Structure 1
């Protein structure tokens, strides 16, 4: 049984006349009759009652016609879905992201992409930059929001922003009254920082900045994510240094202040593997260009 035969059969049913159906299909009447006969042989039962002068379906033909309409509709949907998938308009986009992408880069990118391609399902996973590099190489994710520098010659990177380091202070802290701080102002403060296992590059770089400013930070608490760090700062356990953009908070709990020190900014980049031929990834790269 061929789908072409099923379509021809339904056209005959809709027209109620073989001649009119043939004209609609732009084929000859004998050719259409042969298609219907071939379909009946494939099904194994007559679909039309030929004992009457008017064209009529048999009981089997009535049942077959109902199912045939659904079959053709599903076939059309399948063809449409295949085309959408080929064009990157349907499928799954897997995104890895560092914690500091949570408050601007990730939501902005997903919002814009999903508005443009609502049929693509977006899956997001929080990952350190190092984990993203492995996941991109292993095809576990399609794209990553990460913090360079990275040593990954098989990856393409596109810079999205350059973000400053900010001081996070308890709302009632004596330094909160100042609009701008230097790292040296924090020399005697207890610190809440990322644990090194959560992000060695961020951890080591912040420690290095502090040492360049003349002190080693006194770390009293470590955390695995920025939300926890902010909560611990709000609890007055210490101050912290966070990459902007920072979480929105009530300034009675936590305030953020820029640094006066001339420090390099942190690059946020979009990364993907050159080997990834996903049409959905191509759509993302077009959308966020």
Structure 2
């Protein structure tokens, strides 16, 4: 059974018109008809009921359609795998991720790599903070990772997302009824944030934004991750500054409000890798990442 005969059958079955199917396959109608007849002879059944006005699938044709599509899809995967192997795009690529920002980017990249690079296994390694990935990339225990800027010497990074910062506060807070909150209005508030010792870019951005607003944040408790931070906010321990993607984490008694003003603090999220890493598999994944995670046009270095 030839794949081209199956491809012709699927085209006719979907179009129910030999002329349109031939045009879709970029071939003449007569050779397509010959392919269908050859497939019918091989299977010993009629696949279509033909008349001068219509083309309809027989019961046998309907039964064949699903398996035929599956075989063609499998053949496509085989072709891509062989081509990838020829180009060296096989192997394992370990990617580090942390925080709500990478959760939005990672599924997009992972699905694209699975589809376009079937010869590559993308190994996902979660970290608590984006800063932890930089040391692992430099030490070759990670091939690439989602990080915050700036990066250290010897690491290349490309921004893939720009995250505005939001205020997370208890829904019972006096400011919860507002749509926007000026950072200066939080000067007397207790803050919940991430530990200073773990390389949290959100912690650093929080402190810097508060200093630029004319005050030092009064940090009353630290949280190891975004979920815990928001749980503490919901419990009334304090307010928090989080990236926009954290809004996807839904907890009772927590609300998110935009920061007011023309210069809302933002946190660039980048995909980083060791500059000297010449792995063909890594380079292939980076090419896919450039397609599906382009640098935001609003980002200016």
Paired residues of 2:84 and 2:119 also in contact (CA < 8 A): no
Question: What corresponds to 2:182 in structure 1?
Answer: 182
Question: What corresponds to 1:96 in structure 2?
Answer: 96
Report the alpha carbon displacement of residue 93 of structure 1 after superposing the two structures with TM: 1.6
**Greater Cα radius of gyration, structure 1 or 2:** 1
Paired residues of 2:133 and 2:147 also in contact (CA < 8 A): yes
- The 5 A counterparts of 1:24-63 are none
Question: What corresponds to 2:228 in structure 1?
Answer: 228
Paired residues of 2:170 and 2:236 also in contact (CA < 8 A): yes
Question: What corresponds to 1:203 in structure 2?
Answer: 203
Question: What corresponds to 1:280 in structure 2?
Answer: 281
Report the alpha carbon displacement of residue 88 of structure 1 after superposing the two structures with TM: 4.9
TM-score (norm 2): 0.62
Please say if 1:113 is aligned against 2:113.
yes
Q: Give the Cα separation in 2 of the matches to 1:99 and 1:250.
A: 15
Unaligned 5+ segments in structure 1 are: 1-79
Report the alpha carbon displacement of residue 112 of structure 1 after superposing the two structures with TM: 2.4
| Other structure's SS at 2:103 match | coil
Paired residues of 1:85 and 1:91 also in contact (CA < 8 A): no
Report the alpha carbon displacement of residue 145 of structure 1 after superposing the two structures with TM: 0.7
Paired residues of 1:198 and 1:224 also in contact (CA < 8 A): no
Report the alpha carbon displacement of residue 193 of structure 1 after superposing the two structures with TM: 0.3
Question: What corresponds to 1:136 in structure 2?
Answer: 137
User: RMSD across aligned C-alpha pairs, in angstroms?
Assistant: 2.5
Q: 1:49-94, CA deviations, whole angstroms, 9 ceiling, x for partnerless residues?
A: xxxxxxxxxxxxxxxxxxxxxxxxxxxxxxx988754535532120
Task: Count matched residues.
Answer: 209
Report the alpha carbon displacement of residue 171 of structure 1 after superposing the two structures with TM: 2.4
Residues 113 and 253 of structure 1: CA distance in aligned 2, closer, same or farther (over 3 Å): farther
Report the alpha carbon displacement of residue 251 of structure 1 after superposing the two structures with TM: 7.0
| Other structure's SS at 1:141 match | coil
Q: Give the Cα separation in 2 of the matches to 1:113 and 1:243.
A: 26
Question: What corresponds to 2:257 in structure 1?
Answer: 257
TM-score (norm 1): 0.64
Q: Give the Cα separation in 1 of the matches to 2:152 and 2:275.
A: 14
